[in-house]
Amino acid sequence: MKKAYSIFLVLMLAVGILAACGPDREESAGGNEGSNTDGGKPEKLVVWEDTDKSVALEPAAKAFEEEHGIKVEFKEYGIAEDMRNQIRLDGPSGKGPDVLTLPHDQIGMLAEEGTIQEISVEQSVLDTFTESSIQAQTYDGKLYGLPKATETPVFIYNKELMPEAPATMDEVYEFAKDFTDGKKFGFIALWDNFYHAYAVIGGMGGYVFGEKDGALQRDDLGLNNEGAVAAAEYIQKWYAEGLFPKGVIGESGGSAQDGLFNEGKIASVQNGPWAFQGYTDAGIDIGAAPMPTLPNGEPMTTFMGVKGWHVSAYTKNKEWSTKLVEFLTNYDNAKIRYEKTKEIPPVKKLIEDPIIADDEFSKAVAVQSQYAIPMPNIPEMAEVWGPMATALQTLATNKAEPKEAMEEAAKSIQTNIETNHSK
């Protein structure tokens, strides 16, 4: 028995010696293959960033390396869809990133399929951000990232035609009635597009999905309630009275609106910060303000988009990846991002900083964001866009009564959810 045990020990020692003398594992080009698991410090972390935005990431990456001794490599991707598709391929093979950026409305889908993972941070970290931006990073009651930038539609006006932004939509309506003559228009909004129309629907009491315990409820649809129908009536009124041009509808509506505004034929529009540069380049002296309040006295509840930093489900460095996400979104690095890219981080302290507070355009977005809500990030949201576009376009062309249109849309949405998202 002793002899057998001695042979066993000799064999085990030989195996250990061979393993120690074996070749080192090659370092992967990706962010997670071959790196240390949590508990050790990795040599590097890999980040996937939006195109032309790494100018803001680079100084933060250098600061993180100096502070923690971990190199941060980054790669840019053109559109979110490319990044989303690539991580599905590279993640499982160990060549994907540790951290990546995504629009918040993709969180539900990627969380469900196991591409990104829940993170945990101190409450003191969460408290540095606006409540709505943290809500945007939450899916099914769990936190999946921290916000880096936010955007939402605001009121943009031609200062030559409209010297000051009206405070209420009643004032906008009266201005439009006097100014509009079929060739020029006082105000235009793409209210046949659900993204823009929700500003009115939400502000008048409609909603997409109800919420319970921090999770959106797919069976609680509020697009045909009393407030939503009142919003539909209000929207139809602008089209029926000829206050919006007939050509600004459907898929080409956005380009038609921008063309008219750039020609000086529109005094004001509801549009996002992505339009600022184009309008300015066209030679228009523009102003920007939060959306005027609705006839019921409530602010417009615009949809808000939030870009965030997320931890890949495939990383072997979850703890350090989470620390990097916290670092990239802290006040100092958020301020650098704003200075470099003009993206507005939803960091409370930064919103109050003169760098944003004294900038007319950034302030308009920041203030309106306080009234905005994140676009729902559950997969069932995919079933909302089509039926709502149909309903709104029938309103814009006066082919349906508001209540009828909203009831039909809600019915279609619910049917599609039950068909395509079985529990």
The SS3 of residue 9 is: helix
Instruction: Provide the pLDDT for residue 37.
Output: 54
Residue pLDDT, tens place only, 337-359? 999 999 999 999 999 999 999 99
In contact, 342 and 150? CB cutoff 8 Å: no
In contact, 186 and 175? CB cutoff 8 Å: yes
Which residue from 319, 316, 348 is spatially nearest to 335, judged by alpha carbons? 348
Residue 32 has pLDDT above 70, yes or no: no
| 420 CB-near residues (< 8 Å, 6+ apart) | 382, 383
Residue pLDDT, tens place only, 54-72? 999 999 999 999 999 999 9
Instruction: Provide the pLDDT for residue 31.
Output: 52
CA–CA dist 345, 351 (Å, integer): 8
DSSP lists the bridge partners of residue 289 as: 155
Q: Phi-psi bin for 94: left (phi > 0), alpha (psi -120 to 50), beta?
A: left
Rg over alpha carbons for the chain, rounded to the nearest Å, is: 26
Instruction: Provide the pLDDT for residue 246.
Output: 84
CA–CA dist 74, 56 (Å, integer): 11
CA–CA dist 188, 173 (Å, integer): 11
- Residue 395 binned pLDDT confidence (cut-offs 50, 70, 90): very high
Which residue from 364, 366, 388 is spatially nearest to 376, judged by alpha carbons? 388
Helices assigned H by DSSP within 264-422? 276-281, 318-328, 331-341, 348-351, 354-357, 360-369, 385-396, 402-420
The SS3 of residue 80 is: helix
Give the amino acid at 421: H
Of 165 and 250, which is predicted with more confidence?
A: 165
In contact, 165 and 157? CB cutoff 8 Å: yes
Within 10 angstroms of residue 13's Cβ, the number of other Cβ atoms is: 10
For the record, the structure tokens of 24 come out as 């080192």
Instruction: Provide the pLDDT for residue 224.
Output: 97
Instruction: Provide the pLDDT for residue 3.
Output: 40
- Residue 77 binned pLDDT confidence (cut-offs 50, 70, 90): confident
Residue 21 has pLDDT above 90, yes or no: no
Q: What is the DSSP letter of 69?
A: S
Of 422 and 29, which is predicted with more confidence?
A: 422
Give the amino acid at 393: Q
Instruction: Provide the pLDDT for residue 29.
Output: 36
In contact, 101 and 308? CB cutoff 8 Å: yes
CA angle 354, 262, 154 (to 5 degrees): 40
Give this prediction's pTM.
Answer: 0.85
CA angle 215, 220, 225 (to 5 degrees): 135
CA–CA dist 97, 198 (Å, integer): 35
Within 10 angstroms of residue 17's Cβ, the number of other Cβ atoms is: 10
H/E stretch holding 50 reads strand 44-50
CA–CA dist 321, 166 (Å, integer): 46
Residue pLDDT, tens place only, 82-139? 888 899 989 999 999 999 999 999 999 999 999 999 999 999 999 999 999 999 999 9
Residue pLDDT, tens place only, 155-189? 999 999 999 999 999 999 999 999 999 999 999 99
